[in-house]
Amino acid sequence: MSKHKSKEEKPREEKLKDKRKRAAPTIFENVVEQATERWDQLVHNPQFAAALATALEQPMNLANRVQELVGASLRAMSLPTRDDYKKLSRQLDAIAGQLEDLGARLDELTERLPAAAPKPRAANSGTTPRKASRSRKPTQPPSDSDSEAI
């Protein structure tokens, strides 16, 4: 027996490969067709739709309940909750909008009345006395030289 196949065997093997290639797509097509029909029946089944709705609703309910419990725990510890942060964020957005409006109105008024605007004064021109600062200066502890003088 030689390692090489005879000339008669090659055409026979090629015929078998061709036959397998032709048979495989038809089997696959049958499987796909049957699976598609089954899924179509399943999707249009009211019991399946109800079961799917329940299966999807339960995790959402659980997540909402966990969020409620976490919020209650945070409030019990006097810590801000997600809702508190959302409320604060909305308030900050509103304040930012009001500041933008005020800035725009101020710019508009400044453009309308350039002559009525006060002229800038020179810094420390000496014409007006400065008001005393109301803030206290920090007291410094006596130094060693001060204690020797006493």
Tell me what pLDDT residue 38 has. Answer: 93
Residue 36 lies in a domain: no
Task: Please indicate, yes or no, if residue 146 is contained in any of the structural domains.
Answer: no
User: How many domains is the chain built from?
Assistant: 1
Quote the domain boundaries for residue 100: 80-113
Instruction: Report how far residue 48's alpha carbon sits from residue 98's, in angstroms, rounded to the nearest whole number.
Output: 53
CA-CA-CA-CA dihedral for 97, 101, 107, 113, to nearest 10: -160
Q: Would you say residue 107 lies in a domain?
A: yes
Q: Which two tokens stand for residue 6?
A: 């005879």
Give domain status of residue 20, yes or no: no
Which pLDDT belongs to residue 28? Answer: 83
Q: Quick one: pLDDT band at residue 25, thresholds 50, 70, 90?
A: low
pTM listed for this prediction:
0.38
Is 105 within a domain? yes
Within its chain, how far is the Cα of 146 from the centroid?
62
pLDDT tens digits, one per residue of 91-137: 999 999 999 999 999 999 888 886 665 666 665 555 555 665 565 55
Whether residue 84 lies inside any domain: the answer is: yes
**Paired tokens of 16:** 């078998």
Task: Kindly state whether residue 54 falls inside one of the protein's structural domains.
Answer: no
Query: Does 98 map to a domain?
Result: yes
